[in-house]
A = this chain, B = another copy of it.
């Protein structure tokens, strides 16, 4: 499946923080929109992801999009039947990826022609949802057969269900929760931001033109990577071997383990492609996520949901544990809605929702076929 990036622009977009600004985001589509425009599925991406959900740009691309095992002809999100759309988030961390189109602190301010930096307004998960709606409208889509996403993408999918309840027939929240839980907020968002701001190279956010706070971003990414994996996954990858060329850490104080060196390398490789301010803004936006915002509470939020909801948590997930999915499902059912939680069994932690996406294929296909609540 060969795909290409498109650009969606709005000359004036109002964000929850009561400012307005010109924005542009990238998007990709897979399959064909039908004549009645009712076969569209929106797939929202996770924190480190982007609009390249599936397929390849060129036949010889090393890797396809991040949820490719689930999206394509004959797959769970069957592009022979559905018109699937992926959209870049605002403040996407992968600013330097030529295939990402986003607007955020690294964007040039139209008046000064210099990066916004910390003058950029805070954007929320709900802001992304509102922007996605404008994009869909521009494509002639007023109803979604489904909105789905893992992790922060699931935050958006669930926000869709309460922000535009009449537009969404089905919602799939994978490895996600209806609000940012405290451990996630403190460890991934609050401390990640602290680590970036502590790096002297952060320069109060005005590091553009220089290298930027690579050490701080690496630490923030390492924390996120650690908490989104699991003991079993790290053990299976590296066991307790010393790093290549390192003496035994137990007897030599300069020694370190392979899992330390490799997890650091993975974090640093990713950090080199990230913009530090985008990380901070995206993390804060994620931390503020709560579908009950603006309502009296979960009961009221659940009562507004008209869509059928499928939650797919992973049993070994530290950041969005199954209990959170079950709480939302119980709240929706208590209001007479249709919701179901199907825990996915794998010992590999949160990110198995991306790297072992195939485990979710059957429950997703069943849900889209209408079997889950038949």
Contact = CB atoms under 8 A, between A and B. Distances in A.
A190 B250 contact: no
Q: Give the oligomeric copy count.
A: 2
Interface stretch (A75-83, A144-152, A222-230): A222-230
A234 interface: yes
A371 interface: no
A20 to B, nearest CB: 15
Contact of A253 (B17, B182, B198, B260): B17
Given A17-B253, A195-B195, A250-B124, A183 B219 contact: no
Contact of A251 (B16, B216, B234, B321): B16
Interface residues of A, number: 47
A345 B185 CA distance: 25
A262 to B, nearest CB: 11
Nearest to A18: B251
B17 A251 contact: yes
Contacts of A324: 231
B186 A249 contact: no
Interface in A141-188: 179, 181-183, 185-187
Interface of A: 16-18, 121-122, 124, 179, 181-183, 185-187, 190-191, 194-195, 198-200, 215-216, 219, 222-223, 226-227, 229-231, 234-235, 240, 249-251, 253, 257, 259-260, 263, 288, 290, 293, 318, 321, 324
Given A183-B227, A183-B229, 7 more contacts: A16-B250, A16-B251, A179-B240, A183-B230, A187-B227, A198-B198, A249-B288
10 contacts: A17-B251, A182-B259, A186-B260, A190-B222, A191-B219, A195-B195, A198-B199, A198-B215, A249-B288, A250-B293
